[in-house]
Structure formats: C-alpha cells, structure tokens
Structure 1
Amino acid sequence: MSIILSDFLVRKPEGYYCRYGDFFIDAGSPVAHNVVSHAHGDHASSGHDYVYCTNGTALFMSYRYKQNRKDSYQVKLFNGTFKIGPVEITFLAAGHILGSAQILMEYQGVRYLYTGDYKLQTDETCEPIEVQQADVLITESTFANPEVIHPDPIQEIKKLEGHASNILLGTYVLGKAQRITDLINRYCPERRVLVHSGILPYHRLYDEHGLKKMTYEPYNRREMKQGEQNKVYLVPPMTFNSYFRATKVLRAFASGWKRLQAQNDIELYISDHVDWNDILHYIKMVDPKEVWTLHGDGTILKSYFGDRLMVRDVLSA
C-alpha cells in the first residue's frame, strides 16, 4: 500500500517546495527549478534558472519579465508527463486564465494534485478545467467559506445594461479583463469596450494565442467624452482607485470580494476563483484521501468535514 508523505510539499520562504524532486512550485523568489501554475504575479516571478510551465504561461511571463533568459522556460503541453528527479509531473487545465494549470505529481504510487488557482465556471477565453482523481488534493482556499457563493456571471455582466451612462470598470489586467471583455461582447453587445494601456498588451496576446477573438478598442479620451454613452472603460485596480473623483461615469469593479464592491455604483460579483460550493464539488470529483489547503483559510473546510476527511494546511518546513 502506497503511503501519503505528509511533507511531500511544504511551505518555505521561497515558495512551496518538494524535496523529493528538489523543485519549487510558484516560488516568489529565485530558485533553481520552479514549476509555475499560471502567470499571475502572486504565482509567477522572475530570476529562476528553469521555469516549467505551459505555453500560455510562458508567453505572459516572457512579456512581463523581459529580463528572464528565453532558455529558462521549459514549456510543457497539457496532459504531457515529464519528470523532475523521480517525480512525474502532468499539467492539467485549471480553468483560471489562459494557460493556467493544475500540477499533478506522482511519486511512489501516490498522486498529489496542486490546483493553483482554479474555477469551475464557464470561461470561453481559457482552457476549461480538467478533473482527475488524486490521493491528495492541494487546493486554494481563497473563498473557502459558506458565506461566499458566486452568482451567475452572465446575470452579473447584464447589470451593465440599461444605464444611460459610460462605465468605468476596474479589473485585473490578466485573465479577468479578457473574460470581462468576452462577456460584454456576448451579453451586452450594445456596449463598446475601451481598454486601458496597461491591459491592452494582454488583450493582444490573448488575440494572438488564445481561444477566441475579442472586440475592443484602445482607450481614447475623445471617444469617452463624446457620442453615445455606451462605453465600458476597462482599467487596472490602481487606475480605478486613482479615478475616485471621475464624473459622468458609473463605477464598477469585477471581483468576488465584497469589500471591493463598496461605494461603487454597480456591484459586479465576477470571480475567477472557486467559491464554497465549487470547492465541495471539486473535492467530491477528485475523491482524495486528504485535502491540503493554501492561499487562504482552510479552517471552516476542516470543521465542515470533521472526521470524514483529513483537511489541513500545507505544512511549513
């Protein structure tokens, strides 16, 4: 019988470390071997000797971290297995952003599945999540709270309709902005999407290498001030916060966090993370013997399962 190793993945200052293969996952500071789940800045960083990731993640990291050596990227296909030391690794689509991957690790007959950030909701701008059974599910727990249930994103985006005003919409530049653009294109077709310069390069990378084309325009101040009041101007969070005195626009911010909806004109609860129900559903589908939590608070999840399933945080080294 194969034994689950409680220290297979541990938390170190640099990131999550697997000593059995001598590699890190989503390291935040330079290491020799770094397996990267996706290209968001809290998971992807610069300066590593070798970066193992999908093509989509390599594209975004190459744009953001131009100082990285091109030969540091070890690009792997989804569902293609490779080894680091004796550990077999397979990337499975995570459904979070374009190129986002779950990291399935197999060692001595035990399967450890690190989700990275993931979502179950439909998103036509990225690869849909793939489910495989694992002995240990290592899951993010950003919204691991029964008080957080994400609403239908289609009904949320339709809140932008019916307003005789332009809309200033705060959004994260990679993944969320492209999903929002696609949702507006499909469900608010009368709305023109204008894109901030900080978001525009990622839209173009999605257009060149992604799953579908989006309809949008670079931001133009004259267009925003003239003509029909049917425009949605997508801006990064810092820009959104700096425009707190903006007039003649309605304000909205696309996020699952309630605190980011305060004082806005339109609440827009669109998240690229799993909520409480999604986490429970995913645990059922993966059918693990143990659940290890990170990126959030797993206390409520542990209490929910009690003696029925081992739930704990990833151990610190």
Structure 2
Amino acid sequence: MSNPTQIIDDFIVQTKTGLFCSYGNFYLDPKEPVVNAVISHAHGDHAIGGNQNVYCTEATSVFMQHRYKKFAAADFHIKSYHTKFTVNGVEISFYPAGHILGSALVLMSYKGVNYLYTGDYKLEEDATCEPIEFVNADVLITETTFANPETEHPDAVAEIKKLNDVKQNIMLGAYALGKSQRLIAMINQHCPEKRILVHHSIMPFVKIYEQLGMQLGKYEVYDRKVMKNNHSDMVYIVPPMVFNSYIKAINVVRIFATGWKHLQSKNEVQLYISDHVDWKAILETIKNVAPKQVWTTHGSGTQLQSYFAPNLVVKLLN
C-alpha cells in the first residue's frame, strides 16, 4: 500500500496547453481554451478567453470580461480568498499573491498532500492590491522569472522618487493592468508635484480598480492640448505598444517601468519597478512556505536547483 501523504511526481505536468493536473482534470493558467481552467490572475499570458469553466477571484473575472467580452468564459466560478472548493476531487483555495489586484496563489490539496502554485507574485508593499499571504505546502510550484542570484530589484519607492528629478514632461511606459495603477498611486504619494495623464486604453482598468475599492489618487485622461501647453511635471502613462510606436516623440523624457534590464537600455532614465519576485524574495518565499520540494515554471529554475542541491529537491517543469 502506498503512503497516503506521498508527493505525486506528476500531479502537475507541463504540456503545450499549459500546466495540467490530470488528477483533477484542470489546467493552471492555460495557454489555449480548455474545459476547466484555474486562473491565478488576469494578465494575458496567464488568462486567455474561451475556456468553459473558469475558477478565479472576482477581480480576475471582471478584468477578463472587460478584455475578452462575451468570449471571456462560458461560466465563471468566482471564489473568495481562503474559500475551499473542489474540482474533480482536488480541493482548491486561493490566497493573495501580491502581484496585481485579485491575483492568487493556488493551494491544491489531494490525498493529504498540499501543492501551492504561485502564478506571478511579489513580496513588496503595494497599496493597489492585496498583500501576499504565505501558506505552508509540501510542494511549492513557483514562477522563476527573475530566479538569478545577480537579480535584485531596488526599492520601488526610491525608484519612483527618481521622477522628482525630471522636470521635463515624461512619457512613462507601463503595462495597462496592474503596473499602471500601481504607478498612479505611487506617483500621487511620492511625487506630489507631478500631474498624471493616462492613455485612454488604460482607463477601463483604472476604473475597474476604483470600482473594486482601490483609491489611486488624482489622474486625468490624456489630452493633447494639456501636454502641449504644459512643458514640465507632466507624466503621461502609456501602454507598451504606444510607448514603442512613439519612439521619436519630442519634448518628453522616455521612461519605462520594468524589472527587465534589456527594456531599460535605450531610455534616458531607468525605472526598475517590478511586480515579480527577485532571487532573495524567492528564497524568502521558500523559507516561509517550507516545502519538501520546489517545482519551477515561467523561467529558468536551474540556479535554484544548484543552490539547494542536495538538501532540497528542485524540479524544473519547463
């Protein structure tokens, strides 16, 4: 007879469609439409439209319905944090992931073993989303976007205060969902002399944040005349596509908020504000979750594997 608390090596496997749990017949953040999708958060690389059953938080469902309209899902099964529910025999519950509003760690319990999938997550303070809640698990399935000992994200508050040293108008590139709302709140708090203009394509997400109870502070919808008639202390927040297409924009300082160094190289000011965990934060997460094994996804886990060998099993799912 097998040990009922034994970790199942193939409980979660990587497929072309995404991370699959055959024991519960569901996918975690699938890349193609499926029957049962457990979705950690609403970013497009984790939440696509067209799934039949989507299990997620309320905020995630609202963002998906805005983005995909009637193709968001056939049925949403909206779950609050800490509420247990079952998908084909696997017990699941969500915990805040600290990544964006509504983002969730996914705790899966099956035959006495707890598996915790992080989705994307961060540990830093962020007034625009629920702070991360650590939970113990036998297996931690962590994203490893920045799992490199040489990667250390600087303090986000110190980074945003760089904008105070720029008197010219700023074109600030940022992802429309999550990053833009965080930046609006941070600029209002730490750069009070700045006047914030927001690109029209970002506005629906800003309004959803406010409808869900997040106070971001002052901002205005972008008006070309306002930008033209004011030559200092304006911050125009635009999505990446607009930022990249306005490569020759004049009379503005171009800044892009990201943790990726290669996206900073051509900008006049580097603004390292990331919504992912760096190396130290991953180590801190492993310490708090106290898993028997770590499985890695969304990036390379080879350096974690080397760091913990032979004391902790680190398995690469991708």
Give TM-score scaled by structure 1 length: 0.97
**Corresponding letter in the other structure for 1:15:** G
1:52-110: CA deviation from partner (whole Å, max 9, x where unpaired): 00000000000001123675111000000000011000000000000000100000000
Deviation at 1:210, TM superposition (A): 3.5
Q: Which runs of 5+ in 1 are unaligned?
A: none
- Pairwise mapping of residues 58-77 of structure 1 onto structure 2 (< 5 A)? 58-68=61-71, 72-77=75-80
Cα gap change, 1:69 to 1:252, in 2 (>3 Å): closer
**Alignment-derived partner of residue 184 in structure 1:** 187
Counterpart check, 1:247 vs 2:242: no
Measured on the aligned residues, the alpha-carbon RMSD in Å equals: 1.1
1:273 pairs with 249, 269, 276, which one? Answer: 276
**Corresponding letter in the other structure for 2:173:** G
Asked whether the equivalents of residues 18 and 27 of structure 2 are also in contact (C-alpha less than 8 Å), the reply is yes
Counterpart check, 1:92 vs 2:95: yes
**Alignment-derived partner of residue 149 in structure 1:** 152
Aligned partner of residue 268 in structure 1, secondary structure: coil
1:163-212: CA deviation from partner (whole Å, max 9, x where unpaired): 22000000000000000111000000110110001111101111111432
- Pairwise mapping of residues 103-142 of structure 1 onto structure 2 (< 5 A)? 103-142=106-145
Alpha-carbon distance in structure 1 between the residues aligned to 2:97 and 2:128: 13
- Pairwise mapping of residues 228-307 of structure 1 onto structure 2 (< 5 A)? 228-307=231-310
Deviation at 1:308, TM superposition (A): 1.1
2:52 pairs with 49, 67, 71, which one? Answer: 49
Aligned partner of residue 161 in structure 1, secondary structure: helix
Percent of pairs with identical residues: 53
Alpha-carbon distance in structure 1 between the residues aligned to 2:134 and 2:73: 31
Aligned partner of residue 157 in structure 1, secondary structure: helix
Alpha-carbon distance in structure 2 between the residues aligned to 1:255 and 1:70: 30
**Corresponding letter in the other structure for 1:292:** W
Asked whether the equivalents of residues 159 and 272 of structure 2 are also in contact (C-alpha less than 8 Å), the reply is yes
Cα gap change, 1:237 to 1:273, in 2 (>3 Å): same
Counterpart check, 1:162 vs 2:165: yes
**Corresponding letter in the other structure for 2:209:** Y
Alpha-carbon distance in structure 2 between the residues aligned to 1:296 and 1:60: 25
- Pairwise mapping of residues 4-83 of structure 1 onto structure 2 (< 5 A)? 4-68=7-71, 72-83=75-86
2:196 pairs with 188, 193, 198, which one? Answer: 193
Alpha-carbon distance in structure 1 between the residues aligned to 2:36 and 2:302: 31
Give TM-score scaled by structure 2 length: 0.97
Aligned residue pair count? 315
Aligned partner of residue 310 in structure 2, secondary structure: helix
Q: Which runs of 5+ in 2 are unaligned?
A: none
**Alignment-derived partner of residue 312 in structure 1:** 315
Aligned partner of residue 42 in structure 1, secondary structure: coil
Aligned partner of residue 70 in structure 2, secondary structure: coil
Asked whether the equivalents of residues 177 and 234 of structure 1 are also in contact (C-alpha less than 8 Å), the reply is yes
Asked whether the equivalents of residues 17 and 25 of structure 1 are also in contact (C-alpha less than 8 Å), the reply is yes
